[in-house]
Amino acid sequence: MDYPMTDCEQQARVALENQDWPAAIRLFRQALKDSPQNVELSLLLAEALSEACKTQEAISVLDQALQEHPQEVELLFALGDLLFELDDTEKAMECYRTILQVDSEEGEAWASIGLVHYQQQRFVEAIENYRKAAKLDGDTAFLCTCLGDAFLAQSDIKQALSCYQKALKLDPQEARVHLNLAEIHHEQGDLAAAKEACCQAIVLDSELVEAYVTLGNICLDLDETREAVHNYQKFLDCEHSTLGQEIRAEVAALVEGLKAEMS
């Protein structure tokens, strides 16, 4: 059902676009009170809450909306994706399977199930579901990359390379694919190709912080110690997440040791 856009909703959308999360949340809540059956408002409120790092509140909003609209695919995708981000793979899987009960030819749901299986290290099943998605939606750079990741996790380098190369034909701007190729070339001892691919990844996405560590490792194997230190330092300057603390400590110790050797 289509709902006329109120002034409150319009203001909420502007706040969301301007990344004013508190205002967006307040206004979407107000708009939803006036139109409680409006699925799109529930989705937008959940988006604003998620962006404001209020993930559990976002999940509650989506759960409530699903009580009224249990087969609404967009709600199920939004909830499944949030649960997946929280590593609640079983509940995320329930959402994606419910989508397939509504529409068994929803390729994105098959791909999402593949991502869950990959996270659970069930790589054969992940590949099977990625292929189902590709059969329905056609090959995409995303699906080719996912397939490459799953083959790489099984140490099937030949298949992984084929998938990554196909992904780049579909979208040459995929920075992470260039990084994955760099790591494969590095593992195979082709340092020149590894450095070229890694540098390309950084050109495409300078915020792909792990690429600086990979490039540092490649430079170190090329006996380019100063360049290695420079790239390790770039990583240390950019990586500030809680999840990166352990690797930060390792890289910082490596940099200290290399600087001592150069002095």
pLDDT given for residue 174 in this prediction: 94
Backbone angle region of 19, left / alpha / beta, with phi > 0 → left and psi within -120 to 50 → alpha: left
More confident residue, 121 or 238: 121
Task: Report whether pLDDT(32) > 90.
Answer: yes
Average pLDDT over residues 56-64: 97
pLDDT given for residue 245 in this prediction: 79
Q: Label residue 243 by pLDDT band (50, 70, 90).
A: low
Task: Report whether pLDDT(131) > 90.
Answer: yes
pLDDT 10s digits, 196-209: 999 999 999 999 99
Is residue 123 a contact partner of residue 150, using CB atoms and an 8 Å limit?
yes
The mean pLDDT of the chain is 94
pLDDT given for residue 242 in this prediction: 57
Nearest to 151, CA basis, from 137, 135, 167: 167
The pTM of this model reads 0.85
Domains for the chain: give ranges and CATH numbers: 189-263 (1.25.40.10)
pLDDT given for residue 13 in this prediction: 95
Chain-centroid distance of CA 173 in Å reads 16
Is residue 114 a contact partner of residue 130, using CB atoms and an 8 Å limit?
yes
Average pLDDT over residues 117-126: 97
Average pLDDT over residues 121-134: 98
Nearest to 198, CA basis, from 226, 173, 177, 178: 178
Task: Report whether pLDDT(2) > 90.
Answer: no
Burial of 226 (0-12, 13-18, 19+ CB in 10 A): exposed
pLDDT given for residue 247 in this prediction: 86
Task: Report whether pLDDT(1) > 60.
Answer: no
pLDDT given for residue 241 in this prediction: 67
More confident residue, 243 or 158: 158
Nearest to 61, CA basis, from 94, 84, 28: 28
